[in-house]
Amino acid sequence: MSAVNVTNVTVLDNPSMFLNPFQFEISYECLVPLKDDLEWKLIYVGSAEDEKYDQVLESVLVGPVNIGNYRFVFQAEPPELGKIPEEDIIGVTVLLLTCSYVGQEFIRVGYYVSNEYVDEHLREEPPAKVLINRVQRNILADKPRVTKFPIVFNSPPPPSNPILDCNEAVRPMDVDADMDIDVT
C-alpha cells in the first residue's frame, strides 16, 4: 500500500499556445506522516530518438507532508526551443509528471502532447523554419498513462532491544570516582 495516493490531476489552460506556461492542478492524499519532502517534476520529451533532449521544466519540493488531503497548482515554463531538434517541435511528443520521495520515483503520469500550427494554411504548407508564436500545444489530458512504482516511504523503525531474561540479575555499574567519563 502506498503512503501517498494521487487522486486527481487536472490540466489547466489546455489547449494553449506553445510558449505559455504549463499548469496542472494536482490533488493527493497522504496516509502516513512523511519525514521528508515530496519532489514533483515536469519533464518535456524533446525527441523520441534521444533522451538527451529531455528537459526538466520544473522541480518543486512539497512538505512537510502529514496525514491529509492536499491540492496545489504546479506551473512550469515551456521548454527551451534551442534544446529541441527543429524537426521534432511540430508533431506529437510526451510530457511526464513525476513524484518522488527520497529520490525514489513512485508515480509517473504521462501525457501525449500534440504541437501544431493554429492556422490551417500553415498546417498544410509548413514553413521551412518553425514559427513558434503560431504553434499551439494540446495535451491529451483525457488519456494519461499512469505508472506506479513500489517504494519504501518511511524506513521501518530500528528493532527494539531484546527483552531481558527475567531470571538474570541486573547489577548497577560500578563507577570509580576518579574515572574520566566522556559525555560528548
List pLDDT tens digits, range 89-113.
Answer: 999 999 999 999 999 999 999 999 9
CB 109 within 8 A of CB 95: no
Could you state, in order of their start, the residue ranges of all structural domains in the chain?
A: 4-148
Task: Locate 92 and state its grid cell.
Answer: 506529437
pLDDT at 136: 98
pLDDT at 156: 57
Taking only the tens place, the pLDDT of each residue in 3-21 is 999 999 999 999 999 999 9
Q: Is the dihedral of CA 61, 62, 63, 67 positive or negative?
A: negative
Q: How confident is the model at residue 64 (pLDDT cuts 50, 70, 90)?
A: confident
3-class SS string, 21-69: CEEEEEEEEECCCECCCEEEEEEEECCCCCHHHCEEEEEEEECCECCEE
CB 84 within 8 A of CB 46: yes
pLDDT at 2: 86
pLDDT at 5: 96
Closest to 42 in 3D by CA, of 16, 68, 11:
11
Rg of the chain in Å (alpha carbons) = 26
Whether cis (ω within 30° of 0) applies to the bond prior to 162 is no
CATH of domain 4-148: 2.60.40.1490
